[in-house]
Structure 1
């Protein structure tokens, strides 16, 4: 059985460390503070699919350190509210927003999505959730909350990086889920859940290749800086994260676990 590994606490708590900035640059090419499988070109394409306009207000669920929310605000020109359960992540967001001169367009608050979202009905024009849906329990209820806080005609786009598309051993599942709570699902579950929550499913797209490449580069970038990272994280955490990333790469490159993007629309416009 794999031990738990604190991927997000490590990433957010040490966000400003230069060695982690170097790892992000090598991993993503374009570092905007992400700790998921999304890259700059992919995220920009998602903005286009969402048809974002400068007047839109976007909710970023699972915003982490806030970097992707600021990237969205800067690239699309819209307002963004980021929510995350991680204290370390949420604390980093406002500081980054001030440094980027975006504190008038990007706001952050801690929220546990197991509870009702702390926003009124119809507050947002769009919702994004990058690679965090697999960490959130009670998906049907959560999608219902998203529908509530979206205006009529509002759009959602989320990625699920652990859709089971092949045979996966119990040991592989344990390692893949060693960084926290996970829900793995077979193809079709997300599509049905979106429809049952009252959304129109506009698009479901296989975007596994991004996870294949990001996991490979992330593992290699960390390995290249092993000594520095061990001093920062400790040997056990470093080894656990390397095993995690190697397992992600193997499972996705063999398409036994796949990553999909789902685009939905709330009826009404």
Structure 2
């Protein structure tokens, strides 16, 4: 695990606490899952792996290529990408817990030579040279950038010409007005809740060419009951680590978070490419 300057690592305490629970709850996959419908009985961890695999498919990362995982969580997607694609992966997170968890898991899986984790700010990538990475993925992380234009400019810089960036994030469902958006964003703690078209615009403004996007809210955000059910199924494991009160709180928090449903909150996967020039 490497560390950037201390001045750039702020705000990680929030993720230190929440990711410790999600690491046990969802095997290091700090993002949502993908189900084919309400009758799909796929376990939550496998559904989360499925979403990471969809990112791998549209990103097109190949064996030996260098992948940057932006806001990597406790390391699950980085490790999965390395194992399933053969890529060399660098994850970056402002959470010390997440960086340490990812480093430990990579070592346990025999991947320490191909996966590393940085405790740092993904908006501060000056220690990486221009064109350092063949691909970038950002799973539910750009939502929390305090300066999205600056962050994307930095990601564009470290991406090689012809390299691709794939992001997944919560987006505003069509037809939801500004007043509703403000209430939803505040209640759900989503600072950049916006229509997918706004994400396409900011990616283009950063100099990237948008190639493909998919809106899959009903299969991701719309599956709220499955997350609550998974918390109950893992109650004993979670309670042993964090106490019964934490399990009850997790179930309540997830019930509240997913209550708007896919009619109001969509979920988008967007791929853009740095021009070859």
Under TM normalisation by the shorter chain, which class is it?
A: 0.7 to 0.9
SS at match of 2:258: helix
- Contact kept in structure 2, 1:81 and 1:107, CA below 8 Å: yes
**Aligned pair partner of 1:36 in 31, 37, 47:** 31
Change (3 A) 1:67 1:224: closer
User: Which stretch has the larger CA shift, 185-194 or 54-63?
Assistant: 185-194
Are 2:171 and 2:196, in contact at CA under 8 Å, matched by a contact in 1?
no
* Counterpart residue number, 2:137: 128
Q: 1:15 to 1:203 in 2, by over 3 A?
A: closer
Q: Structure 1 residue 163: deviation in Å? A: 2.8
Runs of 4+ in 1 over 6 A off after TM superposition: none
Cα distance 1:118–1:193, how it changes in 2: closer, same or farther (>3 A)?
A: same
What pairs with 1:89-238 in structure 2 (closer than 5 Å)?
89-165=98-174, 166=176, 168=180, 172-177=184-189, 182-212=191-221, 215-226=224-235, 229=238, 232-233=241-242, 237-238=246-247
Whether the 8 Å contact between 1:161 and 1:211 is mirrored in structure 2 is: no
State the shift of 1:230 in Å.
Answer: 5.4
Gaps of 5+ in 1: 1-5, 25-30
Q: Distance in 1 between matches of 2:81 and 2:129?
A: 22
Shift of 1:158: 0.3
Of 60-69 and 207-216, deviating more is 207-216
Q: How many residues align?
A: 248
Instruction: Name the structure, 1 or 2, with higher relative contact order (CA <8 Å, separation 6+).
Output: 1
Q: Distance in 2 between matches of 1:239 and 1:155?
A: 40
Structure 1 residues 169 and 242: alpha-carbon distance in aligned structure 2, compared to 1, 3 A threshold: farther
Query: Contact 1:60 / 1:80 at 8 angstroms: preserved in 2?
Result: yes
The Cα of 1:53 is off from its aligned counterpart by 1.2
Distance 1:117 1:129, change over 3 A: farther
Note the C-alpha offset of 1:226: 4.8
Alignment TM-score, normalising by the size of structure 2: 0.79
Among 4, 7, 16, the alignment partner of 1:9 is 16
Partner of 2:36: none
Closer, same or farther in 2 for the Cα pair 1:245/1:117, shift >3 Å? Answer: farther
Q: Is the 8 A contact 2:210 2:273 kept in 1?
A: yes
CA-based RMSD: 2.6
Q: Please, which runs of 5 or more residues in structure 2 have no aligned partner?
A: 1-12, 34-47
CA spacing shift, 1:230–1:69, aligned 2, 3 Å: same
